A and B are shown apart, each in its own frame.
Chain A
Amino acid sequence: DTGVSQDPRHKITKRGQNVTFRCDPISEHNRLYWYRQTLGQGPEFLTYFQNEAQLEKSRLLSDRFSAERPKGSFSTLEIQRTEQGDSAMYLCASSSDRGFIYEQYFGPGTRLTVT
């Protein structure tokens, strides 16, 4: 068990550019979640997948945000036409059917800075 990994750990981009983040969940976990966290706030849920199916995406912040999980393995979160308000930590988590309902394992996050 190598844990949840995220890449890159830090991303600096200019306003208007597109960015894509990758998350590799724990290998036997079938559920994957994306969150955004800003300073002083708790993680804000964005979307989640069960295997390759995206079961909840209404919380994505705008139509500039999209996520995929091809083949039910790794996932990507893309933000198009970034804005300064998108600067935040983006967290990925995964969980298994065999664990507690909300026993999620979080990755280290990708810190996005939009200049």
Chain B
Amino acid sequence: LAKTTQPISMDSYEGQEVNITCSHNNIATNDYITWYQQFPSQGPRFIIQGYKTKVTNEVASLFIPADRKSSTLSLPRVSLSDTAVYYCLVASSPYSGGGADGLTFGKGTHLIIQP
């Protein structure tokens, strides 16, 4: 299991780009990197997943360096509604008999966006 380390909290302002970095020094060859967002009293919501280099979708980008020992979730032009907890998950598929270690969420990063 590739354990992850994220900042406990971050602050930013509306309109800024926010980058949240996750460290996963023990990442394995078959591991994927997935990010979730969670608002209070709601279940987490899938944001993005990647394996290497850069992945972009309509809400975020995920940057993964060549050594894959860290990853950065980038949120462009944040708004107040982006205030949430963001979780980084790192693991290989649990569906090939490797167990469900990848379904372990840490404490996440509490992102607070101010006006």
List the interface of chain A (C-beta within 8 A of B).
4, 31, 33, 35, 40-45, 48, 50, 55-56, 59, 91, 93, 100-109
Contacts and interface: CB of A to CB of B under 8 A. Distances in A.
Given A48-B100, A108-B43, A42 B95 contact: no
Most buried by A among B41, B44, B104, B108: B44
Nearest to B93: A101
Interface string B72-115: 00000000000001010101011100011011111110000000
A100 B49 contact: yes
Interface residues of B, number: 25
Nearest to B50: A100
Nearest to B49: A100
B43 A42 contact: no
A102 B44 contact: no
A101 B92 CA distance: 8
B105 A43 contact: yes
B100 A41 contact: no
A51 B31 CA distance: 24
Contact of A42 (B32, B45, B100, B107): B107
Contact of A102 (B32, B42, B106, B107): B32
